Amino acid sequence: MSAFAVEPKFTPKPLFSYKKFWAHRFGVAPFLPMSRAEMETLGWDSCDVILITGDAYIDHPSFGMALVGRLLESQGFRVGIISQPAWRSAADFQRLGKPNLYFGVTSGNMDSMVNRYTSERKIRSDDAYTPNGDPDRRPDRAATVYAQRAKEAYPGVPVVLGSIEASLRRIAHYDYWSDKVRRSILPDAKADLLIYGNAERALVELTHRLAKGEKIQNIRDLRGTAFMVNRGWRPEAEWREIQVTEDGGQRIEEVNGASRHPTQRAKTVIRLPAYEAVRDDPVRYAQASRALHLESNPGNARTLVQAHGERDVWLNPPPVPLTTAEMDGVFGLPYARAPHPAYGDAKIPAWEMIRFSINIMRGCFGGCTFCSITEHEGRIIQSRSEASILKEIEDIRDKTPGFTGIISDLGGPTANMYRLACKEPEVEALCRRLSCIYPDICLRLDTNHAPLTKLYRKARAVPGVKKVLIGSGLRYDLAVRDPEYVRELVTHHVGGYLKIAPEHTEAGPLAKMMKPGMERYERFKRLFEQCSRAAGKEQYLIPYFIAAHPGASDVDMLNLALWLKANNFRLDQVQTFLPTPMALATTMWHSRKNPLKRVGRDSETVETARAGRQRKLHKAFLRYHDPNNWPLLREALKQMGRADLIGNGKKHLIPNFQPAGFRDQASKPKPRRSPVR
């Protein structure tokens, strides 16, 4: 818990309490229009807001542009969608005409670079968010490109960035695909404002204020927003500045101790090391990363600022989470729950995957260092009500073609964090922990799964529902705290297999991931098997593991492979660590420093598998049973002094012979490919 005082409680205006804009008289659109012809059918002469997205437009709350669009429509605004525009000129960005208020720009539900490239920087062959899975329908760094084209299409129209790609690039960040530190997305995109995290509060207030005539350049007080200002700009004269120092500490530049007073803490800005410093100095990069993550609690986060040349990127504190009533309102909007008719009979893989699933909450307090959920959605769980969720089940039953009675998932970022929260809100507002459950589950965390168990029972009792499955990943270290929940889950909601993610077996890499040890996995496994036997079912756990994570040595990966063999696991698909912008594990990858602790020149060094051969070896250990990996593993085991693991007996990891037709894939000539732009 921080020694600093919490700022005075900020109570935001309820999301649905604004007076509706005059255009509400046009009513609800069957689908938000994607063409001028649709606008004319609706009686519109123009759009108030035009949303640009790299995804196909699917009118469903699991897709960001639909959720944002319907929310703004509920406020009375006319919203149009430009989906997957042709980006090589500005022409396609003019298809709906000039928006009255602004362009809202996003790359889509996924970061465009993660969407387009594998963890080995190879171009993917398909795109799940595109009709028929067609690739190459969005550019690299799509949010930046779309924003630039929107500015070209209609100079002077404000451009607002949002969603995951913008969130994770709001400050200077390491970019894996170019292997360098890039500056904030704001100056590259030439955007007027960036909204990070869950955007509902900031977006609704921003839109109403613009509609009343305020200039976007003057709107500088919205939580969850970032913008560029001249160096030294302050909202008011009495603001104080704290600098992150060379030793990883903080120095108050003006009035000593000013930030300890609640009122003055709310008017304190932390100056991160400048872009030029973090670009050239990995230690300064790690210090900036640690400072940002420590200022992520909406209850006590301070404003951050980072110099980029002669200008500053200014980051207001994170948004206040939505209440349950507001979550219900957002998810209860009149979605068509289908792809736009313009796509005809085309199959959109992302839609096929989620159309019978329901998002019951958002946020995650796990704090896994390799995951971007916390950086985007925050640590505070925002849950929907039972009534709202059950109503959506009925909507799926009644409105979604092809429904056979099976709900594929009731979940979210984590399946079993529904309604879990700190038991002491006043302490939660002060807390600066990066995880509520690592290294141990916080004593103040309510781990009672009873509300979720009750929801499961009501969900499967809805007429027309045959089965409710849980497809989201489960935090087994939380689940074992409530055996009744595990019994309910295993007896009724597992379709033969349950996904969980130990990620590793060894203490070193697990500490860098902020994941629990294998003893908790073993405890959950025993309970899972016991409940499966009691239910008379043959069911299996499907564990997920990561190769080449920061902190994982060759020996760690060998020990993981031996564990897999001892437990008779043969993994079909494995994940190689992909450094995504702003994640703590990415900081370890780039800087070789551990931002989970104070960072200095002489602080802990984190060894990382960066070279292609070593990354390939770590992946090969996870697939020790694949003959294509045996030549590489034989060579490595000999170099590690573990030739005793090569042989044809049960105690050996790999055999000493090579089957005909299998060879070392690493020895094949590598085809040339275009560099990542």
Same domain, 382 and 294: no
Report whether pLDDT(251) > 90. no
Which residue, 597, 575, 595, is CA-closest to 586? 595
Return the pLDDT at 289: 97
Same domain, 501 and 437: no
Q: How far are the Cα atoms of 360, 453, 455, 481 from residue 478, in angstroms, in the given order? A: 18, 14, 17, 6
Look at residue 2 and tell me if it is in a domain: no
Return the pLDDT at 375: 84
Q: Report pLDDT digits (tens) over 353-367.
A: 999 999 999 999 999
> Per-residue DSSP letters for 436-497?
SSSSS--TTB----HHHHHHHHHHHTSTT--EE---S-B-HHHHTT-HHHHHHHHHHS-SSE
Report whether pLDDT(610) > 70. yes
How many domains does one find in the chain? Answer: 3
Report whether pLDDT(546) > 50. yes
Same domain, 257 and 302: yes
Same domain, 398 and 281: no
Question: CB under 8 Å to 240, separation ≥6 — which residues?
Answer: 252, 253, 254, 255, 258, 259, 264, 267, 268, 269
| Cα–Cα distance, 634 to 643 (Å, whole number) | 8
At which of 286, 315, 344 does a domain end?
315
Average model confidence (pLDDT) across the chain = 93
Return the pLDDT at 350: 97
Look at residue 4 and tell me if it is in a domain: no
Return the pLDDT at 9: 63
At which of 315, 338, 368 does a domain end?
315
At which of 259, 294, 315 does a domain end?
315
Tokens encoding 518: 């294998």
Look at residue 347 and tell me if it is in a domain: no
Same domain, 482 and 503: no
Same domain, 374 and 296: no
Same domain, 472 and 440: yes
Burial of 570 (0-12, 13-18, 19+ CB in 10 A): exposed
Return the pLDDT at 167: 96
Look at residue 519 and tell me if it is in a domain: no
Look at residue 615 and tell me if it is in a domain: yes
Please report how many Cα atoms fall inside a 13 Å half-sphere around the Cα of residue 6, on the Cβ side: 16
Same domain, 432 and 570: no
Report whether pLDDT(255) > 70. no
Using an 8 Å Cβ cutoff, are 304 and 217 in contact? Answer: no
Return the pLDDT at 256: 34
Report whether pLDDT(114) > 90. yes
Average pLDDT of 435-444? 96
Q: Report pLDDT digits (tens) over 480-495.
A: 999 999 999 999 999 9
- For the domain that residue 428 is a member of, what is the CATH number? 3.30.750.210
Which pLDDT band holds residue 146 (cuts at 50, 70, 90)? Answer: very high
| Cα–Cα distance, 28 to 78 (Å, whole number) | 9
Q: Which residues form the domain of 169?
A: 22-315
Return the pLDDT at 232: 84
| Cα–Cα distance, 329 to 310 (Å, whole number) | 43
Which pLDDT band holds residue 663 (cuts at 50, 70, 90)? Answer: low
Q: Report pLDDT digits (tens) over 463-522.
A: 999 999 999 999 999 999 999 999 999 999 999 999 899 999 999 999 999 999 999 999
| Cα–Cα distance, 102 to 50 (Å, whole number) | 7
Q: Report pLDDT digits (tens) over 561-582.
A: 999 999 999 998 889 999 999 9
Q: Looking at the chain, how many residues does it have?
A: 677
Same domain, 309 and 366: no
Average pLDDT of 403-431? 96
Return the pLDDT at 6: 43
Return the pLDDT at 667: 43
Return the pLDDT at 374: 84
Same domain, 465 and 501: no
Q: Which residue has the tokens 């033969």?
A: 496
Return the pLDDT at 226: 98
Return the pLDDT at 262: 46
Tokens encoding 171: 């400050």
270 — phi, psi (to 5°)?
-95, 120
- For the domain that residue 151 is a member of, what is the CATH number? 3.40.50.2300
Same domain, 485 and 383: yes
Look at residue 468 and tell me if it is in a domain: yes
Look at residue 348 and tell me if it is in a domain: no
Same domain, 481 and 529: no
Return the pLDDT at 594: 97
- Sheet strands (E) in 137-218: 159-161, 173-175, 180-182, 193-195
